[in-house]
Amino acid sequence: MLDISFAALDLPEEGVLVLPLAEGAELTGPVAALDKALKGGLKRALEAAEFTGKKGQQANLLAPGKYKKILFIGTGKAESPGKPEELGGTIVASLAKETAVAVLTASPEQAAKLAFGARLRAYRFDTYRTTLKPDEKPKLAKLRLLTPEPNAAEKAYKTLAAIARGVEFTRDLVTEPANILYPAEFADRAEGLKKLGLKVEVFGQKELEKLGFGTLLSVSQGSAREPRMVVLQWFGAAHEDEGKKSAKKLKDPIAFIGKGVTFDTGGISIKPAAGMEDMKWDMAGAGAVVGAMAALAGRKAKVDAVGLIGLVENMPSSTATRPGDVVKSYSGQTVEILNTDAEGRLVLADVLYYAQQRFEPKYMVDLATLTGAIITGLGHEYAGLFSNNDELAAQLTAAGASVDELLWRMPLVPLGESYDKEINSPIADVKNIGSRAGGSITAAQFLQRFVNGKPWAHLDIAGMAWASKDSAVTPKGATAFGVRLLDAFARGFEA
């Protein structure tokens, strides 16, 4: 893991130094003093490199004075600079082959956010790689942020570090192969979060049968791996019964619900072989919920929240659900299953209904890699947002924009009544698929049948859970999309 520290503004005399500079900005403070000591060497080098400070522009100065390297990075226009998190990610990517780097920052807030971005970008998952070549191994081990107030920067980063740990936890879960991370193992790892102060409950096969989770169990019944439901509670708001843990009860919590299909073959409606290996991350919604709950607990968020995840493995076998089967959900509604590869909505149906019945949340937000149709519609730039509540939709959209986890609102009732008719079944209360057209919308309509008009939003993150290339703060692979979004959303409810 990248060792991050904060120090006073005094420039080091050697090593690798990074100097962020805005467009048209003059060299000031310790940088101006360094330039003077180098007899104007910095200014001349910047002119030779035609460096203007444009966002993302770099000027690499080799060995001026005792330094191994000085790197200028443009931060864009002073009135609208680039985000410090992105700058941190750029620095880590640009200097990955260095061992130690110091960065000059203008404020404690910039230093903390830059460190946060650097940590997110530095994430690696090398658990099963036993023959890494020297040039494949991470070299950047230490990042020092030089700031006017190192103690204030350290304090601000402590909160961001808790969020980073939640992101890293989720990325680990999503990256794990399905033979390692199956429902019981996922639940065990979630239980490990008790150390953060979360109350964690795990429901196994017998408990789910007793509850009557018919739609969730219909997905898992073809697998030798038994299902789980995990409930994580965070008591962050002030309670009258503070200190009486046995009596403590969540009050108007926000509820996060995650789809956790640890591997999805499609069941009897089996998927094509090509690309099926990607279905190990069909549990990314559940991963994001667990990571977000870890973040809230880690930073001691002053809000009551509950996370619920349904964990199953969807496999074809002699015991698997058949297309055409009818099952009874926890809500009492019957469901005709026409396609066993439309399984995530079956998992969420029971968990959504349980969440509202038990916890009476103020808002419910579910996250799921639910449909390929959302990728066709939105690509890999936005997650689809479906909601029956305008205020909730607006809050989620704003939260996502604040952390660059973007949402695009899609049609839903009352605009989508015609879509809802698509899932009426002739022999049951509802069927689990509509026609091919508007697949992500009819999937959301199915979920809405199980929320009883409660304020609710569904985030279809199928296009956002895994990245095929690096971005500013996310290396190629598992993104943990949703962790930072849910954390930002929760801040709006903190006392």
Q: Cβ distance 296 to 319 under 8 Å?
A: no
Separation between Cα atoms, residue 35 and residue 58, nearest integer Å: 18
Separation between Cα atoms, residue 84 and residue 275, nearest integer Å: 36
Amino acid in the structure at residue 217: L
Q: What are phi and psi of 291, to 5 degrees?
A: -65, -40
**Residue 74 buriedness (CB in 10 A; 0-12 / 13-18 / 19+):** buried
Q: Cβ distance 258 to 288 under 8 Å?
A: yes
Catalytic residue among 225, 271, 328, 409: 271
**Cα–Cα nearest to 361, from 405, 400, 398, 392:** 392
30 preceded by a cis bond (ω within 30 of 0): no
Q: Catalytic site residue 225?
A: no
Residue that is written with structure tokens 């046995």 in the block: 246
Separation between Cα atoms, residue 495 and residue 251, nearest integer Å: 13
**Residue 127 buriedness (CB in 10 A; 0-12 / 13-18 / 19+):** exposed
Two tokens at 430? 């509802």
Q: Cβ distance 175 to 283 under 8 Å?
A: no
Q: Catalytic site residue 68?
A: no
Two tokens at 172? 């680990």
Q: Cβ distance 447 to 414 under 8 Å?
A: no
Separation between Cα atoms, residue 289 and residue 365, nearest integer Å: 10
Q: Give Cβ neighbours of residue 348 (< 8 Å, ≥ 6 apart).
A: 257, 259, 310, 366, 368, 447, 450
Two tokens at 385? 């947002």
Catalytic residue among 55, 165, 259, 345: 345
Instruction: Report, as residue numbers or ranges, the catalytic residues.
Output: 271, 345
